[in-house]
């Protein structure tokens, strides 16, 4: 049996809007992945620690408070520092269009805005998992 | 003929209609789908008639406007006497930035203020706290100190305007800052009008801006009831909010039931403290969502008023009709806004605002079309405010009281939502009450389930969202960016530094010590918090004292 894809869904910063993160967590689980949900108010350090401990293939970050430009890149930087740069990072939330290229440049592989079909998000993590040999 | 004979005759007529006209019509043109449902997936029948209301007395269910059970509205003349308050939720960046936005809104005809705070403020952190990294002013204004509060209301007559502040866990501190600001300007507290949201229960259930565990939080809330009733009699010390419950994914029925269950929990705590129900109940206010489904939303407001009036009168033995009134603010559904074809959001918001007005709201916020991207820019905010002005002055819906009262569909829906709310109250009771149900994750799981079902319906195209899963265009939306300036951030950090340096250190330390002692005992915390704020303690410092004494809540993890 192939190894299940493991994904960490995380809420960085203070933002309490968890509707999207929970819907994504459930959609990934229904698509057969192992999902670990961090809960709210995680620092980038907490998230990276959890990702390494849980040996995940990818991380999905959700932020609707507007703090994504600081918090998302911090997660990527810390992963590299911890030699876990092979863990892919995607993000979603209330993210203005002109922030998207900047986030991609900072190493966020995909940015999912409001109205993204769940199937697109599932496909991204499936591909991410396969690339890591899961 | 008697009513019973009328209904019998109607039944016969409908039977004939079904066997003839309807049957022929269905044969020629089958209906578009097997079942029709509301935004909350509630089944809707083909036709509603007096048979759906049979056996229920209109006098009991509706009453007259301004009279028990207030189904038709809380005032005898409703908007003929006074229009709803147009109250736009606003805040970003520094106190200076938001003060400018307030004045812009007032200049364009807004009639009440509503403050949106940034995330650190909502969690009781100062702008310079490490937890606040990246969050300054992004989704509201940063108010860390009394100075910030003074700047926020500079040039605005707080003795005249009513101000609503969306703040919960640290509400008593932020309110104390507002009171201290007014006091410094010589405006007596008895003249102040406004609202603090201060609804901690829905934070655990939905919005998740909690700090302390439930019991300590409830104590702080009741402290504000007690203090407000004596010192700030025109202030609404709570806005019991369904809005965020709905935004987190709940259905209309869940929003209604959870909100009223929370409301009754506050009343119980107030009574347990020894307060007289009629002393604090008139200052309880509400806040509901206005979502896409026009009739379901209108029914929700009407059912809410009826249930609240009954429970206050019969269960809690309130004697004053002021205690029976459910006065509410409404906001259009942020969650319904689409990033795709954003200008179409203006239409959605119009329909939602119409629902709130037809539902008899006392004040209204309309969302701006660019809010799936950012805190709104000036132009978008003005369009949103204009939407309310068109409803008020052009549409004619404000000309008569409860224009849809008596609609068979609306009345049946109102009754259905009411019945469902009572079933939910029973369920919460079985779980041991609101706080035990929060600890068990009941509300959180129910909301997550509804959110997921809604998303799946969109995904499976059972539900059409224009521009998202149908009527899609391939174009890059044009939204003018609103950016929080780096200069505002630096100025805010500077100001905080100055506050800490220039205040009377001894007075400050003594005030925080007294607050700590008060929190450890069972004094009312409000006067102590007010003293701390007067001694220029910051929001973060004041909340840190309470964090030390009360601890911090950890929520059950589920999805």
* Average pLDDT by stretches of 10, chain B with 559 residues: 85 97 97 94 95 88 96 98 95 96 94 95 97 92 98 97 97 98 97 98 97 97 97 97 98 98 98 97 97 98 98 98 97 96 97 98 96 91 97 98 97 97 98 98 97 96 95 89 90 97 98 98 97 98 98 92
Q: Is the pLDDT of residue A134 over 80?
A: no
Q: Which of A21, A70, A118 sits opposite B455 (nearest CB)?
A: A118
Q: Cα A10 from chain centroid?
A: 6
Residues of chain A in contact with residue B132, where contact means CB-CB under 8 angstroms, are 14
Q: In angstroms, what CA-CA distances link B436 with A120, B194, B204, B205, B256? A: 38, 31, 11, 12, 19
Measuring CA to CA, how many Å separate B340 from each of B79, B178, B469?
35, 39, 10
What is the third-level CATH fold of B59-77+85-335+407-459?
Answer: TIM Barrel (3.20.20)
Say whether pLDDT at A36 is over 60: yes
pLDDT digits (tens, 9 = 90+) for A39-69: 999 999 999 999 999 999 999 999 998 899 9
Return the pLDDT at B506: 97
For B267, phi then psi, to 5°, come to: -65, -45
SS (H, E, C) B437-478: HHHCCHHHHHHHHHHHHHHHHHHCCCCCCECCCECCCCCCCC
Cβ of A118 and B207 within 8 Å? no
CB spacing of B455 vs A40 below 8 angstroms? no
What integer pLDDT is reported at residue A132 of this predicted model? Answer: 79
Asked if B375 and A66 come within 8 Å (Cβ–Cβ), the reply is yes
pLDDT tens digits for range B122-144: 999 999 999 998 899 999 999 99
Bond from prior residue into B69 cis (ω within 30 degrees of 0): yes
Q: Are B123 and B207 in contact (CB under 8 A)?
A: no
Residues paired with residue B88 on neighbouring β-strands, in sequence order: B113
- Domain residue ranges in chain B: 59-77+85-335+407-459
Measured CA to CA in angstroms, residue B109 lies from B85, B186, B217, B350, B410 at distances of 10, 27, 37, 18, 32
E strands, chain A, in order: 6-10, 34-37, 58-63, 88-93, 110-112
Kindly list the residues from chain A whose CB atom is less than 8 angstroms away from the CB atom of residue B467.
115
Q: Which pLDDT does position A1 carry in this prediction?
A: 60
**pLDDT in the model for residue B263:** 98
Does the domain at A6-131 match CATH 3.40.1640.10? Answer given as: no
Residues 6+ apart with CB under 8 A from B273: B222, B225, B226
Q: Give the distance from residue A53's alpha carbon to the nearest chain B alpha carbon, in angstroms.
A: 18
Q: What sign does the CA torsion over A96, A97, A101, A104 have?
A: positive
Domain ranges of chain A: 6-131
Interface residues from chain A to B (CB-CB < 8 Å): 9, 13-19, 21-23, 25-27, 35, 37, 39-41, 64-67, 69-71, 94-98, 113-115, 117-119
Contact A113 B372 (CB under 8 A): yes
Which residue in A22, A66, A119 is closest to B139 by CB distance? A66
List the single residue in B120, B339, B469 with the smallest CB-CB distance to A14: B120
Contact B144, B492 (CB under 8 A): yes
Mean pLDDT of A16-35: 96
- The angle formed by the CA atoms of residues B402, B403 and B405, to the nearest 5 degrees, is 65
Q: Across the interface, do A15 and B119 touch by the CB < 8 Å criterion?
A: yes
User: Would you say residue A126 has pLDDT above 70?
Assistant: yes
Residues of A in contact with B338 (CB under 8 A): 114-115
Q: What is the pLDDT of residue B56?
A: 83
> Looking at chain A, which residue has its C-alpha nearest residue B245?
A19
């Amino acid at each position: 049996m192939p190894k299940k894809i493991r994904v960490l869904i995380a809420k960085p910063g203070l933002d309490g809007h968890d509707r999207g993160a929970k819907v994504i967590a459930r959609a990934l689980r229904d698509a057969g992945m192992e999902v670990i949900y961090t809960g709210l108010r995680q620092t980038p350090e907490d998230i990276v620690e959890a990702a390494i401990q849980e040996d995940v293939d990818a991380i999905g970050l959700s932020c609707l408070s507007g703090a994504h430009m600081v918090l998302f890149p911090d997660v990527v930087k810390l992963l590299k520092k911890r030699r876990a740069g092979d863990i892919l990072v995607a993000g979603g939330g209330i993210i203005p269009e002109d922030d998207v290229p900047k986030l991609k440049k900072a190493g966020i592989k995909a940015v999912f805005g409001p109205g993204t079909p769940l199937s697109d998000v599932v496909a991204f993590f499936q591909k991410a998992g396969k690339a890591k040999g899961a | 003929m008697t009513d019973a004979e009328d209904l019998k005759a109607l039944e016969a007529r409908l039977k004939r209609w079904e066997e003839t006209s309807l049957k022929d019509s269905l044969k020629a043109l089958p209906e578009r789908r097997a079942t029709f449902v509301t935004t909350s997936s509630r089944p809707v029948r083909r036709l509603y008639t007096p048979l759906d209301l049979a056996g229920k007395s209109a006098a009991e269910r509706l009453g007259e406007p301004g009279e028990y059970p207030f189904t038709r509205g809380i005032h005898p003349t409703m908007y003929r006497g006074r229009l709803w308050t147009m109250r736009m939720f606003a805040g970003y960046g520094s106190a200076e930035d938001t003060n400018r936005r307030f004045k812009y809104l007032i200049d364009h005809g807004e009639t009440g203020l509503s403050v949106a705070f940034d995330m650190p403020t909502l969690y009781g952190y100062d702008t310079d706290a490490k937890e606040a990294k990246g969050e300054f002013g992004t989704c509201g204004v940063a108010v860390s100190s009394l100075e910030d509060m003074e700047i926020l209301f500079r040039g605005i007559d707080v003795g005249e305007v009513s101000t609503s502040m969306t703040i919960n866990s640290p509400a008593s501190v932020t309110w104390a800052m507002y009171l201290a600001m007014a006091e410094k300007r010589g405006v007596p507290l008895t003249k102040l009008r406004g609202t603090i949201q201060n609804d901690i229960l829905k934070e655990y259930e939905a919005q998740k801006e909690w700090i302390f565990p439930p019991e300590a939080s409830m104590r702080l809330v009741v402290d504000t009831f007690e203090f407000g009733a004596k010192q700030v009699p025109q202030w609404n010390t709570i806005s019991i909010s369904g809005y965020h419950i709905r935004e987190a994914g709940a259905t209309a029925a869940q929003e209604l039931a959870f909100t009223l269950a929370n409301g009754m929990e506050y009343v119980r705590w107030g009574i347990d403290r020894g307060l007289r129900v009629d002393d604090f109940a008139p200052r309880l206010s509400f806040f509901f969502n206005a979502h896409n489904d026009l009739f379901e939303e209108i029914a929700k407001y009407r059912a809410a008023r009826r249930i609240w009036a009954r429970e206050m009168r019969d269960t809690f033995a309130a004697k004053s009709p002021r205690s029976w009134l459910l006065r509410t603010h409404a906001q259009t559904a942020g969650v319904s806004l689409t990033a795709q074809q954003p200008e179409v959001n203006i239409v959605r918001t119009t329909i939602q605002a119409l629902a709130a007005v037809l539902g008899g709201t006392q004040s209204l916020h309309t969302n701006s079309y660019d809010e799936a991207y950012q805190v709104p820019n000036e132009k978008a905010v003005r369009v949103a405010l204009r939407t309310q002005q068109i409803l008020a002055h052009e549409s004619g819906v404000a000309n008569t009281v409860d224009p849809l009262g008596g609609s068979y569909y609306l009345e049946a829906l109102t009754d259905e939502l009411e019945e469902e709310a009572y079933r939910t109250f029973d369920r919460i009771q079985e779980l041991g009450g609101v706080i035990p149900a929060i600890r068990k994750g009941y509300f959180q799981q129910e909301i997550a389930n509804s959110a997921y079902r809604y998303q799946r319906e969109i995904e499976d195209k059972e539900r059409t969202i224009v521009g998202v899963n149908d009527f899609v265009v391939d174009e890059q939306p044009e939204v003018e960016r609103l950016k929080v300036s780096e200069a505002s951030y630096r100025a805010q950090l500077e100001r905080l530094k100055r506050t800490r340096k220039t205040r009377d250190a001894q007075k400050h330390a003594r005030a925080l010590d007294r607050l700590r002692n008060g929190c450890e005992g069972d004094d009312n915390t409000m006067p102590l918090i007010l003293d701390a704020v007067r001694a220029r303690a910051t929001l973060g410092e004041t909340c840190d004292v309470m964090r030390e004494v009360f601890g911090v809540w950890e929520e059950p993890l589920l999805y």
